[in-house]
Every structure is written in C-alpha cells, then in structure tokens.
C-alpha cells in the first residue's frame, strides 16, 4: 500500500525552462514574475508539479547548469523571495515545485572554484575539485584522455600550469565527491530548498558524480568505469534520502540517470535511494510498436523489483522536439546522431506526437512534459550561429546543432514575435502599455503565430486542447497515474493495454486502420474516429467494456 503523500508516484510534472517560459519585465529573458503571471495557464493545463531547470545565479555557460550560488536566484530571473512566493502560490493551486540540483559540477564563478584558483597547487581549496599536473615534458598535455560531453578535452589548463577536470563545459569544473565538504554542502543545499517548500529535487547527471581518484585513461571495456555509474555513488543518494525523509512530508528525489542497462538503472531506485528517475529508454525509442512495447515492458520489469514507479518522458531541454523527431525517417533520439536540415514531415510528426502524448499519459507511473510540447512546437533548426549559446554547438565547431532549438521562448499570443512572451508585446503579461520590449533571447519563427496558446486554447482540435483534456482525465479516471497495466491482444503494429478499473489505451503505429477493442465509450482520441476504426499514427482512450 502506498502512502497518500507519495504524490510523485503518479504525478504529471511540467518542466519549466525559466529563460524561455514568460518574460514579465520585457528584457527578452523569461523570469519568475513571468511564471507567476502564467500560473493560471499551468493550473488550467492540469499538471501536478513544476520542475524548474536551474534558476540559480549563474554566468550561463551552460544555460544555468553552471551554478555560481545555489542559494540565490539568477538576477535576470528574480530574487529568492520571489521564488519562495512562487513555490507558495503554486502550492496554493495544488502544484508542487521541484528544483534542479547539479551535483557533478559548479560554475567557474562559484566561490569555491575562485578560492581554489587563488590558493594555488597543492592547497586544500583545490581538493574540492580535480586539479592535476599535465602530461608531457612540460605538462602541456591533459592529465588523461577523458573527453567533455560537449566536445573537446575534459581538461582546461590554468596559468599556473595545472589542469582542472570538467566533463561538460570549461565553465563547469567537476567537484570531488570524495571530499566531505562537497557532500555536506549539497545536503545543506537540499535542506535550503526543502525548507522553502520545494517538494522534490531533480538530480542532474546523477550517475556521473563519482570519479576514480586515480583518474585513469578511459579504455574500452574498463570496469569499473572511471566516471560513470560507480558503485560509491549510491552512498551519496542514501544520505540524500535520509535528508528527504527527515521532513514531515517527505521530499522526492528524481534522478537524471542515462544508463543503458535497466538493472544498473534500477539500483538508483532502491527503497533507500532516489524515488524515481527519468526514463530515457522510452524517450530515445523510435516510433515503432515493437520497440516501444519492448521499452515499456523493460521499464516495468526493471522497476518492479525495487518497488519504484516508472516515469514516461518524451522530451526535455536537451533533446529534439517531439514533432520534429517523429516527422523524420529516423524517429529515435541519439545525441551522437544529432543533425540539422534532415527532411522532416511536421504534419506526420505532429500526428504521431499527439498519439505519443496519449500513450505516455496512459502508462503507469509519473509523466514529464517539457514546456512547449503541449503546443506541439517543432525544433527550431535555423537559429543563426550568432545567437546560439549552447556549448554543445560551440565546442564542436557547430558540427553538433546543439540544444537551443528546443529552448526557443514560448509563443503565447498575437500574430508576430515575440508572441506575448515578453510583457507588453501583444498585450500580454502586465506592465505599462506601449513600453518597448527587447527581442527574445532566441528568435521565434514567424510561423509560430499558428501555435500560440491563444490560438490553440480556442481550437478544439489543437495539441493544447488534447493535453488539457488528457490531463483532466488523468485526474478523474481512477485507473490512470500510478498502478499496473495489462496488455490486450493486438496486432504487431498496435499497442493496446488496460488499466483497471475500466480504462484502455490503444495506439496504432501501423499503416492500416485497426478496429477498436470492445468498449463502452471513447474518452479521448488523438484524431477524429470513424466507424470504430483507429487510423494509423493515432491513439485513443477508452472506457472498457
Ligand atoms: C544535464 C542537463 C543538461 C546539462 C548537463 C550538465 O544533462 O540536462 O542540460 O547540460 O546536465 O549539467
């Protein structure tokens, strides 16, 4: 029996990327006042919680995943007091707040790193990071062969000749998690946000924080891996779980765990570790019935032994927008294969994204919805290089298109950019009429006039209407959310399952229409149905017979 406060087991969680959500002060950058002004939108959408991508003070070397101060809000976003207000206001509407914690690294502007640079080689201040002398006769080569996830070496040399490790951008020095102060500080940061009402944390790069202190070269098949999924990591999350459980209403820990092996993945979800983790096997899966059936079955089988609920994720701020991905010949997602300008049928992609929305919202567990997915926004693929900020783009010399294409500010109202994203543009969120507003930090396509919230809210066939209806049903249908499912017999191109009591979902990924199973009522459909047939690339929710 699950406790009533285990809301995270079946929640619909909406990811807000603050910079791109809504801009209340007209500087072209989203902010907390913008989120507050748009809370009614989120209430109407029907979500249970918001996960905020990092909103802390940061030089933005990686969109805020380079944190300079965990206890301060980025000045462009607002102030701490405003975050507290936002958390309280959201909760008054029944919406919980999840904050993003980035344990693997800090910003190079974080006081610890500044102190480490000043204190010099061999100092205790450098022990909190990974400083090493270089290789080669004059130490001119990096200490080992590790690569940055964003391209290039994972090491940067500083003027005194030492190198420091950064598995992401150079502005994100990796912390040494063997160091007791690093562990203590993060537990304090957890308490800081839990004390301010955060209902949970999303743990960034959760499987990557521990390093082999010998920092050996990466070699094919070397086990244990020097920086990935190391066993010592689990002690960290056991300690975090104790912090989470020390509250009268226990807080939830949600891991960003990219691991191909479901058994290794599930170890993070043992009863004394993280509560849930993002399901990247499902996110990366192509639009293929057999592959999706397998991904769903593998997910459920991996979670069952540890008693953790599954999560269902189609998109986030790091991956290609769903309608674009599903409109291509290759419908799976793979960081290594990211490219621009691939032929894309957006109509087909949108149709599939609608079906995928119903599929993912019907599966047992919690579900994550990245802002703009409910509007069916496509990936913006023609951002000029001069406006792209993502280090993934710059560190690969533009070979990797980067992730800014899924981070373009949301279109709210009106017929032209900035589509009400910024205050006073198209009469949106507060302020004095007629004030000049800055351009959004990333330019929005003109074609988004069709995709604004305003347009879609009034259109019964829009993606937004589909999401609103589905999320409403997710609350009213007792079979949805946390629980179990049972597959219904179906052809190989169809995914069909029931959720007791009395609910069924059918998705047709084949090329021919299929007959619906016996049912009493169609609750919701991603397309118009005729003659009880479900057309290709469509899904339906049924009240079962
Ligand atoms: C996670 C975040 C991503 C960030 C990286 C480094 O994968 O989702 O946006 O760049 O960690 O913090």
The ligand 1 atom at the shortest distance from the C-alpha of residue 316 is 8
The ligand 1 atom at the shortest distance from the C-alpha of residue 318 is 9
Q: Supply the Cα-derived Rg of the chain in whole angstroms.
A: 23
**Centroid of ligand 1 to alpha carbon of 168 (angstroms):** 8
**Centroid of ligand 1 to alpha carbon of 265 (angstroms):** 18
The ligand 1 atom at the shortest distance from the C-alpha of residue 403 is 9
Do 488 and 497 form a contact (C-beta atoms < 8 A)? yes
**Centroid of ligand 1 to alpha carbon of 536 (angstroms):** 35
- Closest residue CA from atom 2 of ligand 1: 204
- Closest residue CA from atom 3 of ligand 1: 318
The ligand 1 atom at the shortest distance from the C-alpha of residue 65 is 12
- Closest residue CA from atom 4 of ligand 1: 65
> How far, in Å, CA of 129 to CA of 113, rounded?
8
List all residues whose CB is within 6 A of at least one atom of ligand 1.
62, 65, 102, 168, 204-205, 256, 317-318
**Centroid of ligand 1 to alpha carbon of 319 (angstroms):** 11
> How far, in Å, CA of 403 to CA of 423, rounded?
25
Mutate to test the pocket of ligand 1, among 17, 65, 66 (most ligand atoms within 8 A of CB): 65
Paired tokens of 260: 């191909």
- Report pLDDT for 430: 43
DSSP 8-class letter at 25: S
Mutate to test the pocket of ligand 1, among 54, 103, 205 (most ligand atoms within 8 A of CB): 205
> How far, in Å, CA of 450 to CA of 428, rounded?
17
The ligand 1 atom at the shortest distance from the C-alpha of residue 317 is 9
The ligand 1 atom at the shortest distance from the C-alpha of residue 392 is 10
Reading the chain (545 residues) residue by residue, the pLDDT tens digits are 577 789 999 999 999 999 999 999 999 999 999 999 999 999 999 999 999 999 999 999 999 999 999 999 999 999 999 999 999 999 999 999 999 999 999 999 999 999 999 999 999 999 999 999 999 999 999 999 999 999 999 999 999 999 999 999 999 999 999 999 999 999 999 999 999 999 999 999 999 999 999 999 999 988 999 999 999 999 999 999 999 999 999 999 999 999 999 999 999 999 999 999 999 999 999 999 999 999 999 999 999 999 999 999 999 999 999 999 999 999 999 999 998 889 999 999 999 999 999 999 999 999 999 999 999 999 999 999 999 999 999 999 999 999 999 999 999 999 999 999 998 754 444 444 556 789 999 999 999 999 999 999 999 999 999 999 999 999 999 999 999 999 999 999 999 999 999 999 999 999 999 999 999 999 999 999 988 899 999 999 999 87
**Centroid of ligand 1 to alpha carbon of 70 (angstroms):** 16
DSSP 8-class letter at 86: H
- Report pLDDT for 425: 59
How are beta strands 486-487 and 366-370 bridged, if at all? unpaired
- Closest residue CA from atom 12 of ligand 1: 65
**Centroid of ligand 1 to alpha carbon of 104 (angstroms):** 10
**Centroid of ligand 1 to alpha carbon of 65 (angstroms):** 6
Among residues 41, 27, 40, the alpha carbon closest in space to that of 78 is found at 27
Do 539 and 507 form a contact (C-beta atoms < 8 A)? yes
Among residues 444, 422, 424, 423, the alpha carbon closest in space to that of 433 is found at 424
- Report pLDDT for 431: 44
Residues 6+ apart with CB under 8 A from 237: 203, 206, 253, 255, 268, 273, 274
**Centroid of ligand 1 to alpha carbon of 204 (angstroms):** 6
Mutate to test the pocket of ligand 1, among 258, 318, 319, 338 (most ligand atoms within 8 A of CB): 318
**Centroid of ligand 1 to alpha carbon of 456 (angstroms):** 31
Strand partners, 508: 494, 538
> How far, in Å, CA of 468 to CA of 68, rounded?
37
Mutate to test the pocket of ligand 1, among 62, 207, 400 (most ligand atoms within 8 A of CB): 62
Paired tokens of 62: 């990686």
**Centroid of ligand 1 to alpha carbon of 52 (angstroms):** 13
By CB atoms closer than 10 A (0-12, 13-18, 19+), residue 59 is middle
The ligand 1 atom at the shortest distance from the C-alpha of residue 104 is 12
Q: What is the separation, in whole angstroms, between the first and last Cα of the chain?
A: 27
Residues 6+ apart with CB under 8 A from 231: 224
The ligand 1 atom at the shortest distance from the C-alpha of residue 102 is 12
> How far, in Å, CA of 55 to CA of 192, rounded?
14
Paired tokens of 427: 């009469």
The ligand 1 atom at the shortest distance from the C-alpha of residue 105 is 12
The ligand 1 atom at the shortest distance from the C-alpha of residue 391 is 10
């Amino acid at each position: 029996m699950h406790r009533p406060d285990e809301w995270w087991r079946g929640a619909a969680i909406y990811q807000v990327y603050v910079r791109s959500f809504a801009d209340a002060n007209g500087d072209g950058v989203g902010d907390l006042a913008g989120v507050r002004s748009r809370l009614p939108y989120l209430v109407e959408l029907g979500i249970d919680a918001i996960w905020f991508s990092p909103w802390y003070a940061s030089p933005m070397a990686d969109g805020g995943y380079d944190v300079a101060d965990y206890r301060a809000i980025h000045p462009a976003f607002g102030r701490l007091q405003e975050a507290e207000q936002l958390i309280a206001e959201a909760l008054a509407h029944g919406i919980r707040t999840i904050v993003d914690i980035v344990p693997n690294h800090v910003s190079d502007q974080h006081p610890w790193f500044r102190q480490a640079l000043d204190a010099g080689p061999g100092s205790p201040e450098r022990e909190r990071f990974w400083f090493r002398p270089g290789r080669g006769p004059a130490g001119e080569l990096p200490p080992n062969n590790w690569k940055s996830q964003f391209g290039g070496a994972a090491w940067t040399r500083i003027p005194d000749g030492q190198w420091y490790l950064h598995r992401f951008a150079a502005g994100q020095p990796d912390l040494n998690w063997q160091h007791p102060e690093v562990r203590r500080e993060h537990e304090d940061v957890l308490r800081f946000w839990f004390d301010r009402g955060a209902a949970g944390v999303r743990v960034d790069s959760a499987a990557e924080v521990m390093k082999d202190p010998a920092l050996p070269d990466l070699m094919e098949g070397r086990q244990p891996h020097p920086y990935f999924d190391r066993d010592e990591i689990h002690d960290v999350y056991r300690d975090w779980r104790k912090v989470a459980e020390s509250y009268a209403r226990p807080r939830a820990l949600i891991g960003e765990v990219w691991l191909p092996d479901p058994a290794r993945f599930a170890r993070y979800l043992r009863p004394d570790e993280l509560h849930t983790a993002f399901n990247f096997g499902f996110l990366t899966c192509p639009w293929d019935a057999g592959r999706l059936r397998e991904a769903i079955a593998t997910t459920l089988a991996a979670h069952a032994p540890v008693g953790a609920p599954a999560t269902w994720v189609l998109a986030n701020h790091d991956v290609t927008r769903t309608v674009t991905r599903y409109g291509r010949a290759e419908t799976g997602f793979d960081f290594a294969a990211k490219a621009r300008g691939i032929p894309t049928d957006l109509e087909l992609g949108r149709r599939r994204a609608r079906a995928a929305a119903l599929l993912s919202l019907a599966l047992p567990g919690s579900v994550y919805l990245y802002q703009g997915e409910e509007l069916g926004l496509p990936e913006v693929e023609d951002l000029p290089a001069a406006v792209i900020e993502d280090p993934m783009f710059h560190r690969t010399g533009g070979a990797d298109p980067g992730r800014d294409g899924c981070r373009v500010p949301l279109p709210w109202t009106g017929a032209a950019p900035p589509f009400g994203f910024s205050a006073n543009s198209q009469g949106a969120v507060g302020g004095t009429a007629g004030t000049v507003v800055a351009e959004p930090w990333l330019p929005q396509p003109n074609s988004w006039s069709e995709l604004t919230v305003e347009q879609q809210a009034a259109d019964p066939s829009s993606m937004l209407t589909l999401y609103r209806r589905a999320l409403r049903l997710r609350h009213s249908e007792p079979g949805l959310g946390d629980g179990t499912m049972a597959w219904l017999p179906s052809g190989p191109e169809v995914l069909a399952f029931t959720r007791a009591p009395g609910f069924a979902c059918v998705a047709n990924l084949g090329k021919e229409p299929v007959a619906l199973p016996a049912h009493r009522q169609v609750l919701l459909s991603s397309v118009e149905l005729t003659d009880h047939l479900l057309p290709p690339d469509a899904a339906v929710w049924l009240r079962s017979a």
